[in-house]
Amino acid sequence: MSSQDIPEENLPAEQDAHGAVGVADDKDPFADPGLPPHEHRVQDIDERAAKRSERTVAMLFTLSMLATIGFIAAYVGVPHDKAIFVFPIGHINALNFSLGLTLGVALFAIGAGAVHWARTLMSDVEMVDERHPIEAPPEVREKVFDDWKQGAKESAIGRRKLIRNTMLGALTLVPLAGVVLLRDLGPLPGTKLRHTMWRKGLQLVNMNTNEPLRPEDVAVGSLTFAKPEGLEEHDEEFQTEIAKAALMIVRIQPDNIKDKRELEWSHDGIVAYSKICTHVGCPISLYEQQTHHVLCPCHQSTFDLSDGARVIFGPAGHALPQLRIGVNEEGYLEALGDFEEPVGPAFWERG
Ligand code: FES
Q: How confident is the model over 99-148, as pLDDT tens digits? A: 999 999 999 999 999 999 999 999 888 777 777 777 888 998 999 999 99
Is residue 190 domain-resident? no
Q: How far is the CA of 311 from the centre of ligand 1 (A)?
A: 11
Residues of the chain above pLDDT 70, percent? 89
Angle formed at CA 251 by CA 245 and CA 254, multiple of 5 degrees: 120
Is residue 46 located within the same domain as residue 130?
yes
| pLDDT higher than threshold 70 for residue 312 | yes
Q: How confident is the model over 273-305, as pLDDT tens digits? A: 999 999 999 999 899 989 999 999 999 999 999
Is residue 310 located within the same domain as residue 243?
yes
Is residue 152 domain-resident? yes
Q: How far is the CA of 316 from the centre of ligand 1 (A)?
A: 6
Is residue 209 located within the same domain as residue 180?
no
Structural domain span for residue 170: 3-185
Is residue 350 domain-resident? no
Is residue 145 located within the same domain as residue 242?
no
Q: Which domain CATH number covers 211? A: 2.102.10.10
Rounded to an integer, what distance in angstroms lies between the CA atom of residue 69 and that of residue 67? 5
More confident residue, 139 or 4: 139
Q: How confident is the model over 225-253, as pLDDT tens digits? A: 999 999 998 888 899 899 999 999 999 99
Q: Is 45 in the pocket of ligand 1 (CB under 6 A)?
A: no
Q: How far is the CA of 282 from the centre of ligand 1 (A)?
A: 6
Q: How much is the pLDDT for 21? A: 46
Is residue 210 located within the same domain as residue 177?
no
Q: How far is the CA of 288 from the centre of ligand 1 (A)?
A: 17
Is residue 168 located within the same domain as residue 215?
no
Is residue 199 domain-resident? no
| pLDDT higher than threshold 60 for residue 26 | no
Q: Is 296 in the pocket of ligand 1 (CB under 6 A)?
A: yes
Q: How confident is the model over 68-83, as pLDDT tens digits? A: 999 999 999 999 888 8
Q: Is 280 in the pocket of ligand 1 (CB under 6 A)?
A: yes
Is residue 50 located within the same domain as residue 180?
yes
- Give the model's confidence band at 28: pLDDT under 50 very low, under 70 low, under 90 confident, else very high: low
In 3D space, the residue among 271, 269, 302 whose CA is nearest the CA of residue 284 turns out to be: 302
Q: How much is the pLDDT for 326? A: 96
Instruction: Please tell me the total count of domains within the chain.
Output: 2
Q: Is 311 in the pocket of ligand 1 (CB under 6 A)?
A: no
Is residue 162 located within the same domain as residue 224?
no
Q: How confident is the model over 259-268, as pLDDT tens digits? A: 999 999 999 9
Find the mean pLDDT for residues 215-228: 93
Q: What is the pTM of this model?
A: 0.54
Is residue 147 located within the same domain as residue 46?
yes
SS3 string, 120-185, reads HCCCCCCEECCCCCCCCCHHHHHHHHHHHHHHHHHCCCCCCHHHHHHHHHHHHHHHHHHHHHHHHH
Is residue 42 domain-resident? yes
- Give the model's confidence band at 17: pLDDT under 50 very low, under 70 low, under 90 confident, else very high: very low
- Give the model's confidence band at 34: pLDDT under 50 very low, under 70 low, under 90 confident, else very high: confident
In DSSP terms, which residues pair with 83 in a beta bridge?
Answer: 93
Rounded to an integer, what distance in angstroms lies between the CA atom of residue 276 and that of residue 246? 7
Q: How far is the CA of 158 from the centre of ligand 1 (A)?
A: 57
Q: How much is the pLDDT for 210? A: 94
Is residue 180 domain-resident? yes
Is residue 243 domain-resident? yes
Q: Is 277 in the pocket of ligand 1 (CB under 6 A)?
A: yes
Is residue 17 located within the same domain as residue 162?
yes
Q: How far is the CA of 300 from the centre of ligand 1 (A)?
A: 6
- Give the model's confidence band at 188: pLDDT under 50 very low, under 70 low, under 90 confident, else very high: confident
Q: How much is the pLDDT for 348? A: 56
Q: How far is the CA of 275 from the centre of ligand 1 (A)?
A: 11
Q: Is 275 in the pocket of ligand 1 (CB under 6 A)?
A: no
| pLDDT higher than threshold 70 for residue 65 | yes
Nearest CA to ligand 1 atom 3: 299
Q: What's the mean pLDDT when you consider all of the chain?
A: 87
- Give the model's confidence band at 8: pLDDT under 50 very low, under 70 low, under 90 confident, else very high: low
Output the CA–CA distances (angstroms, integers) from residue 324 to 56, 231, 261, 339, in the order listed.
Answer: 71, 19, 10, 7
In DSSP terms, which residues pair with 293 in a beta bridge?
Answer: 288, 304
Q: Is 298 in the pocket of ligand 1 (CB under 6 A)?
A: yes
Single-letter amino acid code for the residue at 53: S
Q: How much is the pLDDT for 16? A: 45
In 3D space, the residue among 299, 294, 254 whose CA is nearest the CA of residue 274 turns out to be: 294
282 CA closest ligand 1 atom index: 1
- Give the model's confidence band at 185: pLDDT under 50 very low, under 70 low, under 90 confident, else very high: confident
Is residue 196 domain-resident? no
281 CA closest ligand 1 atom index: 1
Is residue 245 located within the same domain as residue 306?
yes
Q: Is 295 in the pocket of ligand 1 (CB under 6 A)?
A: no
- Give the model's confidence band at 189: pLDDT under 50 very low, under 70 low, under 90 confident, else very high: confident
Q: Is 316 in the pocket of ligand 1 (CB under 6 A)?
A: yes
Is residue 88 located within the same domain as residue 158?
yes
> Strands 83-86, 90-93: parallel, antiparallel or unpaired by DSSP?
antiparallel
Give 338's DSSP letter.
Answer: S
Q: How far is the CA of 277 from the centre of ligand 1 (A)?
A: 6
> Which residue out of 279, 347, 348 has the highest number of ligand 1 atoms within 8 Å of its CB and is therefore the one to mutate?
279
User: Which of 90-99, 156-165, 236-245 is predicted with the least confidence, judged by mean pLDDT?
Assistant: 156-165
296 CA closest ligand 1 atom index: 2
